[in-house]
Amino acid sequence: MAEPAARPLAALLKLINGAWLTQALYVAARFRLADLLANGPLSVEELASRAGTHPQSTARLLRALAMFGVFHEEASGQFGLSPMAEHLRSDRPSGLYHWALLQGEPWHWQAWGQLQENVKTGVTAFESSSGRPLFDFLEQEPAAGECFAAAMAELSSLSTRSIVKSYDFSAFRRVVDIGGGEGILLQHLLETYPAMHGVLFDREAVLAKARERLSGTPLAQRMEYQSGSFFESIPGNADAYLLKHILHDWNDAAAGRLLRACREQLRPHARLLIVEYLLPSGDTFCHGKMLDLEMLVMCGGQERTQEEMRTLLAQNGLSLERVIPTSSGLSLIEAVGA
C-alpha cells in the first residue's frame, strides 16, 4: 500500500500522463479494434492481421488499455472486449467511438498544444494552430466536419433522454432546434410528443445527414429542415426554441448576437430553452469545468455559472424564468422575453 504522503504524488502523475491515454484510445478507435473483437476474443496475431497493424505494437497498446478496463486480456493471451470497450465500437448507437477519434485527430490535438499561449494571450489556440476559426475550418474541411458532427451526435445521444424527461414539452406545437446537428434531440421530442412539429436549423452539410437518417420514417412528415446562419436570422412562428450546447461555443459578444436573433422571433408565450452546463462554485466537480477548457482552446467560447447566464440573457432582452437540472449533469434553462 502506498504511503499516505505518496498518494497525491501518484494521483498527480496519473493526471500528467493522461495525454498518453487519450492517444491510445484514439489509435484503438482509428484501427477499429473494438469492431474487430465484436464476435469474441482474438489472438494478437489474428487481430493485427485483420487491422493491418504490427502485432507486437498492437499487443502493447491493448495491454496498456486493458489496465484501465478498456479491453480485457484473457488467460490464453487473447484480447477481448470489456464493458468499456463495447462503447468504442463504431456501430454502437450510444457509444463514444467518434468522440475518441475527435480527441486524437491531429488538428484537434495540435490546438491543445497551444494552450500555454492561449492562457498567456487570450488568443484562441485553434486559430493559432490552424490559422482560421474552428467553424470556418469545419466548413472548409469536409472530413474534419464529418468527424466533428458525428462526435457531437454521440454526445447529444448521451443526454437526450434525460432532457426530454426533465421538462414538459406538451404545450409546444412547433419547436425549432437551432444548431441541432443531426436532429437527435428533436427526434426524441417528436417521438415523445406526437402532436409536435419540428424544425431543424443548421448548416446544409449537417442537415443532409439528418435528412438521410430520418428519410422514410414516420417522423419525416413532421420534420422540417432549414439552413442558414443563426447570427443573421432564425425561423419564426415557433412555440419553443432550443439551444443545446450552442451558447457555450461563443464568447458573450457573439452569444449576445444569437440571443438577440432569438428574441426577435420570440412570441409573447414562447420559450427559449437553453441546455448547458451551469458551473458550480468552489472545488465541486463538474464535467463542464473541463469542457470550458475545450471551449477556450477550440473556439473561444465558455461555460457559464447561473448568474453569468442570467446576466447574459438580461443584457439581450431575455429573462431567466427557471433552471431545471437533469440527470445528465446538464441544466435546462427556460427564458422568456423581458
**Strand segments (E) across the chain:** 72-73, 79-80, 174-178, 197-202, 223-227, 240-244, 271-276, 318-325, 331-337
- Mean pLDDT over 165-176 rounds to 96
66: exposed, middle or buried (C-beta count within 10 Å: 0-12, 13-18, 19+)? middle
Residues 6+ apart with CB under 8 A from 252: 312, 315
> Would you state the CATH architecture of domain 109-337?
3-Layer(aba) Sandwich (3.40)
Determine whether 184 is exposed, middle or buried from the number of CB atoms within 10 Å of its CB (0-12, 13-18, 19+). buried
What's the rounded mean pLDDT across residues 93-109? 94
What's the pLDDT score for residue 36? 98
CATH classification number, 6-89, choose in 3.40.640.10, 1.10.3080.10, 1.10.3720.10, 1.10.10.10: 1.10.10.10
Distance CA 91, CA 97 (A): 9
Q: What is the pLDDT of residue 215?
A: 84
CB 124 within 8 A of CB 298: yes
- Mean pLDDT of the region 51-58: 98
Q: Is 248 a catalytic residue?
A: yes
Record the pTM: 0.91
- Mark out the alpha helices in 68-223 (DSSP H runs): 83-86, 97-104, 106-112, 115-121, 125-130, 134-140, 142-166, 184-192, 204-214
pLDDT, tens digit (0-9, with 9 covering 90-100), for 133-157: 999 999 999 999 999 999 998 988 8
Q: What is the mean pLDDT of residues 67-71?
A: 96
Q: How many CB atoms neighbour CB 67 within 10 A?
A: 11
Question: Which is the catalytic residue, given 72, 87, 98, 248?
Answer: 248
Does the fold of domain 109-337 match that of domain 6-89? no
Q: How many CB atoms lie within 10 A of CB 18?
A: 9
pLDDT tens-digit readout, 192-231: 999 999 999 998 888 888 888 888 888 889 999 999 888 8
Domain range summary for the chain, segments of one domain joined by +: 6-89, 109-337
Q: What is the mean pLDDT of the chain?
A: 94
